[in-house]
Structure 1
Amino acid sequence: VEPKITLTDKELQAEISELCKYAALLDDSQLEVQVKDGVAVLNGRVASSYQKSYADLLAYRAGAKEVDSRGINVHWRHTNPLLRAQRYEKVTDEDIQAAIQRAFKHDPRLLSFEPQVKVEHGVVTLTGDVGHLTAQQAAEQDALHTIGVQRVKNNLRVRWPDEPASDEQIADYTRAAMTRDPYVERHNLNIECENAHVSLYGVVDTQFEKYHAEWIASRQKGVVHVNDYLAVRTKWKPKSDAAIEADLKDKLAYAFVDPDNQVTAKVENGVAILQGTVDTWYMWQTALDQAIAAGAREPHCLIEVRYGLPSGPHYYGPHDYVPR
């Protein structure tokens, strides 16, 4: 489906040029923009492929039907410290405010909302209401990626248009979304929600899966904040069971000094089996993290949790983490 072009070629050219001019990721790049029949042609020099891809993204966001960036030459020597210095020296609070508002206008994550922007001496304050956590985070990201911004105070509030979901419902929504997602559905993740703040516990294979799980949670109805405590499994380096167990027991002894929160561990064929009882899910995750740090191949967390249950006070399900 082709995007609907609502700007003339001249207007689109101006929008793309301004987006690139005030993008902090392109602060040392001078790009020329031409537009004909909604097709943007970009020329110039950048220092990395990432900068080139980012320029493409900005052109598409502005409304370009197609983007031809073959005229952008990439070479690590194509840095321009003088141009960067000039842009930061000349930018005013009014320029920053206009640039951020322009970025919001072209960010699909914010099209349904109207965040308010105030800038004083490079410090940006965002206020207003948005409909979900992803929009709140996107607004802050757009502001941080603008030339001249020193700091962002994100005072945006997440407000749902209908009746807020309960903690139990939010946890159920999040869990269901995880099981539907092809990237993380195979992981046995535990989810806790308190006062609309979702916490994620467990182990994933990559940093991408960790961030993706956080993104999924942030999209669920009623969520106002996500605590991502997920550990990332590292490539296993062969290590004897005795060495893993000794290292793990030392780490657990320092992590759990309270006699009411004690965890025991044994290791078989590189697999750490954790048992015991702790007060919170954060402690549960800490034990899992220590097992991975000690060199365990596949930690099995059979620890019971006294408080902070994953779907609120009425959850009585299992606390086990056993990799599938």
Structure 2
Amino acid sequence: METIEQLSQPVVQEKVADADISAAIETLFLSSRGVSAHLIDVATQNGIVALTGFTDSLLSRQRAEEIALAVRGVRSVVNELEIRTPELPDADLRRDVERALAHDPATGDYNITCLVADGIVTVSGVLQTWLEKQLVLRVLRGVRGVRRIEGDNLKVRGGEIMNSDEEISTEIREILDWDIRVNSALVEVQTTDKVVHLAGTVGSGAEKEHIISVAYQAGARQVQAQDLFVAHWAVVGDLRRDKFAPRADADIAQAVRDTFRHDPRVRPAEPGVRVYHGYVTLTGTVSNLRARLDAEQDARHVVGVWDVQNRLKVRPPHDEPDSIIRQNIRDALARDPYVGDFDFMVLVRNGKVYLDGRVGNHFEQEHAADVAAGIGGVAEVVNRLEATGSTCATGVRPYGPPAWGLRPTLLPDPDYALAERIRRRHFWSASLYHQDVHVAVENGVALLTGTVDTWFDREQAGFEAYEAGARFVNNELKVHSPAHA
């Protein structure tokens, strides 16, 4: 088969060149859904990426930053993207943000107030935890028309008994030790007067940001992370072998329960947790579908978990009529920045939601289902949306200079080109580039085989294949068993 020169992979180097990082991010933006690649400029200096230009929503702005942070060699991201979104009357936007918060099963019970002026939402109130505040901000970012969120008046009570400095440090270490996404052995934590100082080495900018959020989650007033350095070699599996060592079932079960305790969606339900040789079974009831899905995801991120069987049942606290649920879903889809322009058919029967219609790609297909799952009263979502593939998914510039700075050539084999694009995305992923992932493509269907370190890596590999333009992904990647790693 003919070789495609411009898609060949560069040799892995100890330090990734700034120009290569910028080129990789720009190409990832081109094939990533929900990002306005043509409006964003990327510049990199010493591994620090600056994003400038415009995007059309806060969700897109955040997504661009997350994509850049996950690229191998990126130390941090300075996000200076401005928001250009269609103007909505203040009264209409306030109605939308209030409905978004009210219809979300978690934030609907929070005592908060929103004011809107010229697309700026000022939110105030008192919450119990830092994570509850992040959840409110996340919901608000999902409303089309919001240009900025002012959250300084959204206070965190934190309870009457505040953690001491030593308790904050201990909690941070415990959370990191049980989080499969973090190499905690290379991270040092010290706390003085509730100011947390982080030092050591992590494998990506995304991992660094995650550790900083854990520190705030544990009660930090301020986090200093200038001595927490990013080096892409720190994600290599051999350096994380302790993470994959067998753990006692009782300890795993307690770690899963502790993870639930930190999740504001899952915490109120207190799901039952049983573990047998690393296999987790979740039992009990939750009040909403989003909590059920998040509980499983939380459990999969715990060290020692080999697989999760989710037996949680969704039992909404109120008997909401199907007609109300349907209207709330339609409203949520209409105000969403990613899928608000599509025409959906929504059918609800006894809390079970059926979504029909057409969207452009897999990302929009999954996002629409996720929006529906976040509405109170929804017990299940059957996603029958058709992804037409109408948006360009080549990952290669249709005209102008080639993305990788090499001579352009015709692509004689679409399947071969797609496989190369998937490998390219895996190659630039800080969590995947070193792992044993094999890619084969036939008629636009990608087959992933091999072995990865974690369930998080398995999901990421599949997601990158869809982003590269795969029509369907058959993900047969295996995860290292804790007992045999």
For the superposition of Structure 1 and Structure 2, which TM-score range results when normalised by the shorter chain? 0.5 to 0.7
* Stretches of structure 1 lacking an aligned partner (at least 5 in a row): 239-291, 295-324
Structure 1 residues 45 and 119: CA distance shift in structure 2, 3 A = same
User: Cα offset for 1:120?
Assistant: 1.1
User: Cα offset for 1:215?
Assistant: 2.3
Q: Does 1:196 align with 2:325?
A: no
Q: Give the letter for the 2:176 counterpart.
A: C
Contact 1:30 1:45 (8 Å CA) reproduced: yes
User: Cα offset for 1:63?
Assistant: 3.0
Pairing 1:78-117 to 2, within 5 Å after superposition: 78-79=234-235, 81-117=237-273
- Residue of structure 1 in register with 2:298 after alignment: 142
Q: Secondary structure at the match of 1:108?
A: coil
Structure 1, residues 64-105: CA drift from partner, whole Å, max 9, x if none?
Answer: 333322222111112354452233224211221121111111
Contact 1:35 1:41 (8 Å CA) reproduced: yes
Task: Return the alpha-carbon distance in structure 1 between the equivalents of residues 259 and 390 of structure 2.
Answer: 36
Structure 1, residues 45-73: CA drift from partner, whole Å, max 9, x if none?
Answer: 11122211221232233333333222221
Pairing 1:115-194 to 2, within 5 Å after superposition: 115-163=271-319, 165-194=320-349
Moved more, 102-111 or 130-139: 102-111
Contact 1:61 1:107 (8 Å CA) reproduced: no
- Residue of structure 2 in register with 1:266 after alignment: none
Structure 1 residues 224 and 27: CA distance shift in structure 2, 3 A = farther
Q: Secondary structure at the match of 1:19?
A: helix
Task: Return the alpha-carbon distance in structure 2 between the equivalents of residues 151 and 224 of structure 1.
Answer: 23
- Residue of structure 1 in register with 2:216 after alignment: 60
Task: Return the alpha-carbon distance in structure 1 between the equivalents of residues 238 and 163 of structure 2.
Answer: 33
- Residue of structure 1 in register with 2:198 after alignment: 42
Task: Return the alpha-carbon distance in structure 2 between the equivalents of residues 222 and 13 of structure 1.
Answer: 39
Identity %: 37
Structure 1 residues 107 and 67: CA distance shift in structure 2, 3 A = farther
Structure 1 residues 101 and 236: CA distance shift in structure 2, 3 A = closer
Choose the corresponding residue for 1:222, options 374, 377, 400: 377
Pairing 1:278-293 to 2, within 5 Å after superposition: none
Structure 1 residues 209 and 116: CA distance shift in structure 2, 3 A = same
Task: Return the alpha-carbon distance in structure 2 between the equivalents of residues 35 and 118 of structure 1.
Answer: 34
Contact 1:47 1:78 (8 Å CA) reproduced: yes
Moved more, 168-177 or 137-146: 168-177
Task: Return the alpha-carbon distance in structure 2 between the equivalents of residues 224 and 15 of structure 1.
Answer: 34
User: Cα offset for 1:114?
Assistant: 1.1
Q: Give the letter for the 2:391 counterpart.
A: T
User: Cα offset for 1:150?
Assistant: 0.7
Q: Secondary structure at the match of 2:171?
A: helix
Q: Does 1:7 align with 2:7?
A: no
Task: Return the alpha-carbon distance in structure 2 between the equivalents of residues 170 and 162 of structure 1.
Answer: 12
* Stretches of structure 2 lacking an aligned partner (at least 5 in a row): 1-153, 399-468, 472-485
If asked which structure has higher relative contact order (CA below 8 Å, sep 6+), I would say 2
User: Cα offset for 1:211?
Assistant: 3.7
Contact 2:180 2:243 (8 Å CA) reproduced: no
- RMSD over equivalenced CA pairs, Å: 2.7
Structure 1, residues 112-157: CA drift from partner, whole Å, max 9, x if none?
Answer: 2211211111011111221111111111111000111011111111
Task: Return the alpha-carbon distance in structure 2 between the equivalents of residues 293 and 66 of structure 1.
Answer: 43
